[in-house]
Structure 1
Amino acid sequence: MRKRALAFSSWVDRGMFWITPLMLVMGLIFSKPFLPFVPAIPYLFAYITFVMGVGCGREHLKHVFARPMPIILTLALSHLVAPLAAFALGSVLFGAHSPYTVGLVLFTIIPLGVSSVLWIELSGGSLALGLAMVLLDSALSPIVVPGLIQLFFGTALSFDTLGLMRDLLLMVVVPTALGVVIYERSGGTFKQKAGPILLPISKVFFMLVILLNAAGIAPYAYELRGDLVSVIPAVLLLVAFGYVLGYYAPLLLRQRTPELSITVSFAAGMRNNSLGLVLALGYFSPQAAVPVVLAILVQQPLATLHQFVLRKFKPYPLKESLHS
């Protein structure tokens, strides 16, 4: 039973290149039966984050914050370099005041995506660093997001900060803290012992998260389908730019390692698009939501492609904790 469970977990890891687009397509095409389950996404995320947390102790997190430059670099890439690139790209293609340009910039200034931590773990990056960056960026988002929108477009913006922080507490902070406590109490052995139960369930939940996210955006994608073709190249270029920039930017740091490049690349390439969609539809025109919807659609497949390229041309091994 143990071998079968771990074999299934390993099979999912290896099959992400085709599993991710399959889940997206299923969620988009068969969205109606899945829509009632979309509110379960935070709880599925919470379990996944907990499983990752039991592989991370206090010493891992202390080590991360003792060397803050990778975090500073990632946030600068994500919320300074990427927004400038998005604004420049949108201005050239659509005009500085186009709602499409607003949507492109909005995608780059929303917080780092929680799902980036999942890809960091799957790809052999630093789990502790990924969690630290998501937590810090999410905590700063009530200041960063409205401030950058005001800076670029002169539009005052407020949103449900309490709701955002509640969701982040549920999805990231509490399960991570619980996982760290269990890691410390077990001396780091809990994940290895409980892996045959924890890991397969977390992989199933990961697939469900992708499927349910796709189902949740299906109505918006359908309504805005006429605008998609003109914006797809810009969104693809911008999201890919985030992955590539994040991979090579750590060359600026002395402590650059393959693990660091993997971590920063996924963190810089992925965003909390659910929040971006809410902001776009709540405070701007429906056209501003088009780049965000497209980003949701292409972000996971590009993450899968990015992982495939890392394996193919930079064959860093997966972390042993994923398979033991």
Structure 2
Amino acid sequence: MLNKLNKALEKVMPLLTPTAVVVGLLCSAWLHSLSFLVSWIFAVMTFAGSIGSNFRDLGKVMKHPLPIIATFLILHIAMPLLGWAAGSLAFPGDDLTQTGFVLLFVIPTGVVSLVWVTIYGGNIALTLALILLDTLLSPFIVPLSLSLIVGAKVHLDVMAMMNGLLWMVVVPSVVGMILNHLTKGQIKKVWGPRLAPFTKIGLFIVVAINSSVVAPHLKEMNAKLIVIIAVAFVCATIGYLAGWLVSRGMKWDQDVTVALTFNSGMRNLSAGAVLAINFFPPPVVLPVIAGMLFQQLLAAMYGHNLNKRYGLKNEPSQAA
């Protein structure tokens, strides 16, 4: 029963997230009040993904750091500079909007990338390492990048960010890897297929709730907002593409290519939106909000393309 449900969900993955975005926008009046559930759902999704990995896998990743270095270069040098350049060209003289585009691309890689990497049979250990390192370094990287590129000054709530990381990523990941080690991988075989459909349902719920939080910022649609959305869409697409091209160019394994594609394109935009709202004027928020609109849609599109290219159809059900 669960296996059939999982296979059915796999077939509609490209439509699952766009539908969730629409549901979130249409039902924002009551869905946004459920935002407190997002962290808990993330934790369950992270646990489900991590039972397929162990400490040995994580150790192997750290011994071969080139994919991590490549992803960091894309995330924190190439993409922020692209965001600044695109913002400067599209909105000359508009310092606040330009700052918004830089902020959109300096935010660390998103926890939800683990879910997509899991679904499409990517390297889970590499993804965990990237998320952990990037989030732990973000209190230093984000303010430094903003200061260097646009001269903005920003203060992050380091303890709140670390606490969120602890319960959303660290604890469920460690528990999952410990159980994998203790059961010698049996937990993945037994519980992986059972948890797989709930991971995808959880993703739908998270995207819908996050979209409902975004909805109030999109009530006044105008020409400037349309341009912001278009520029953010093009730049975000390049992020995913850069991860795929670098991995292909380096001739890394298929699972590494899947991991780099998602981790290079996805950002923790929920944190980015909170940061923008708390520390910057409203115009800075708009590019980040625009990114939230279609981040999951792009992930679904690239996942679909990876699936067609590498024939991953049978892998996600066992990895997720």
Q: TM-score range by the shorter chain?
A: over 0.9
Greater alpha carbon shift after TM alignment, 214-223 vs 73-82: 214-223
Q: Within 5 A, what are the aligned runs for 1:116-135?
A: 116-135=113-132
Selected match of 1:291 from 283, 287, 290: 287
Greater alpha carbon shift after TM alignment, 287-296 vs 98-107: 98-107
Q: d(CA) in 2 for partners of 1:181 and 1:321?
A: 22
1:126-160 Cα shifts (integer Å, max 9, x gaps): 01101110110000000000001111122221021
User: What secondary structure, in the 3-state scheme, does the structure 2 residue paired with 1:109 have?
Assistant: coil
Selected match of 1:72 from 63, 69, 84: 69
Q: d(CA) in 2 for partners of 1:245 and 1:145?
A: 21
Q: d(CA) in 1 for partners of 2:288 and 2:316?
A: 35
Report percent identity of matched pairs. 31
List structure 1 segments (4+ residues) > 6 angstroms apart after TM superposition.
none
1:80-104 Cα shifts (integer Å, max 9, x gaps): 0111111111111112643221111
Selected match of 1:312 from 308, 311, 315: 308
Q: Which residue in 2 is equivalent to 1:278?
A: 274
Selected match of 2:110 from 84, 109, 113: 113
Contact 2:119 2:319 in 1 (8 A): no
Output the TM-score relative to the length of structure 2: 0.95
Q: d(CA) in 2 for partners of 1:224 and 1:276?
A: 21
1:11-67 Cα shifts (integer Å, max 9, x gaps): 212211111111110011111121221111000000010011111111111111110
Q: Within 5 A, what are the aligned runs for 1:1-324?
A: 4-95=1-92, 97-222=94-219, 227-253=224-250, 256-319=252-315, 322=318
Distance 1:23 1:228, change over 3 A: same
Distance 1:62 1:317, change over 3 A: farther
Q: How far has the Cα of 1:224 moved from its partner?
A: 6.2
Distance 1:315 1:193, change over 3 A: closer
Greater alpha carbon shift after TM alignment, 279-288 vs 126-135: 279-288
Q: d(CA) in 2 for partners of 1:272 and 1:319?
A: 26
1:301-320 Cα shifts (integer Å, max 9, x gaps): 11111111222344345536
Q: d(CA) in 1 for partners of 2:216 and 2:77?
A: 32
Q: How many residues align?
A: 320
Contact 1:17 1:308 in 2 (8 A): yes
User: What secondary structure, in the 3-state scheme, does the structure 1 residue paired with 2:219 have?
Assistant: helix
Contact 2:100 2:285 in 1 (8 A): yes
Greater alpha carbon shift after TM alignment, 201-210 vs 101-110: 201-210
Contact 2:87 2:101 in 1 (8 A): yes
Letter in 2 for 1:101: Q
Letter in 1 for 2:20: M
Contact 2:6 2:317 in 1 (8 A): no
Q: How far has the Cα of 1:225 moved from its partner?
A: 5.8
Q: How far has the Cα of 1:321 moved from its partner?
A: 5.7
Distance 1:168 1:318, change over 3 A: farther
* Structure 2 gap segments, 5+ residues each: none
Letter in 2 for 1:301: L
Q: d(CA) in 1 for partners of 2:68 and 2:244?
A: 14
Letter in 1 for 2:17: T
Greater alpha carbon shift after TM alignment, 279-288 vs 260-269: 279-288
Contact 2:52 2:319 in 1 (8 A): no
Contact 1:124 1:317 in 2 (8 A): no
Q: d(CA) in 2 for partners of 1:13 and 1:135?
A: 27
Letter in 1 for 2:197: P
Letter in 1 for 2:265: G
